[in-house]
Copies of this chain bind each other. A is one copy, B any other.
Amino acid sequence: MFVLASASKARQKLLDQIALRHKVIVSDFDETQLQEPDPILKVKLLAKGKADSALKKLIEENHALNTYQALLGCDSLFEFKGEIFEKPINKEQLISRWKRMSGQSGFLHTGHYLISLDNSKSDMESISQNNSCEGVVSTKIEFMNLSNFEINKYASTSEPYNCAGGFAIEGNGGLFIKKIDGCFSNVIGLSLPWLKNNLEKYGLSRLLLDR
């Protein structure tokens, strides 16, 4: 079984999409404690923080660790002209961001931290250091020109408030994204090709497409 250290429904759907059976363990890592201005470093540290926290929970709550093969922590943010856009805090901020984003482009960065638990006989506490790999995948996103009416209409739905950058490409936000350059699933919350490559590294490809 695979462990996803994220409450994000979008990430869970991506794993369902590739038939990767998984258990969700929501980490209690306090994201607000991290003040890191560099977007790439920030998603990397948050992904590791979430993965380590979920691993700790797994160790504390479960004594049959050999039923789990791998654990993944992820975190996404949107970088717009050097600024970090995480989930919008309110409607006002969302609207003001979209007025700037209209017709412009930015980067969706997702940090990934994968821990292999397969065949591990070692001390669980050292697993994260010795059997893990990390990576940040970045996708360029180019927005359509939007009218104020459209921005307000979108801002009155619940969708954008749950998403880094304030849009869901797999939802209504798909209307507003002219093009992307890079990995598509990365924009939704985790890069499936990155996951495939790194599961392979640990000999865990069998977990994929396992219907």
Contacts and interface: CB of A to CB of B under 8 A. Distances in A.
A144 B197 CA distance: 9
A154 interface: yes
Interface string A172-211: 1011111111111101000011011100000001001101
Contacts of A184: 169, 174, 177, 179-180, 184, 187
A129 interface: no
Interface string A142-185: 00100000100110010000000000011110111111111111
A104 to B, nearest CB: 15
Contact of A175 (B144, B177, B196): B196
Given A175-B208, A177-B193, A178-B193, 9 more contacts: A17-B171, A17-B174, A150-B205, A153-B209, A174-B192, A175-B209, A178-B183, A179-B182, A184-B187
Q: Which 9 A-B pairs have the closest CB atoms?
A: A175-B192, A181-B181, A174-B192, A179-B182, A175-B196, A18-B175, A178-B193, A174-B185, A179-B183
Interface of A: 14, 17-19, 139, 144, 150, 153-154, 157, 169-172, 174-185, 187, 192-193, 195-197, 205, 208-209, 211
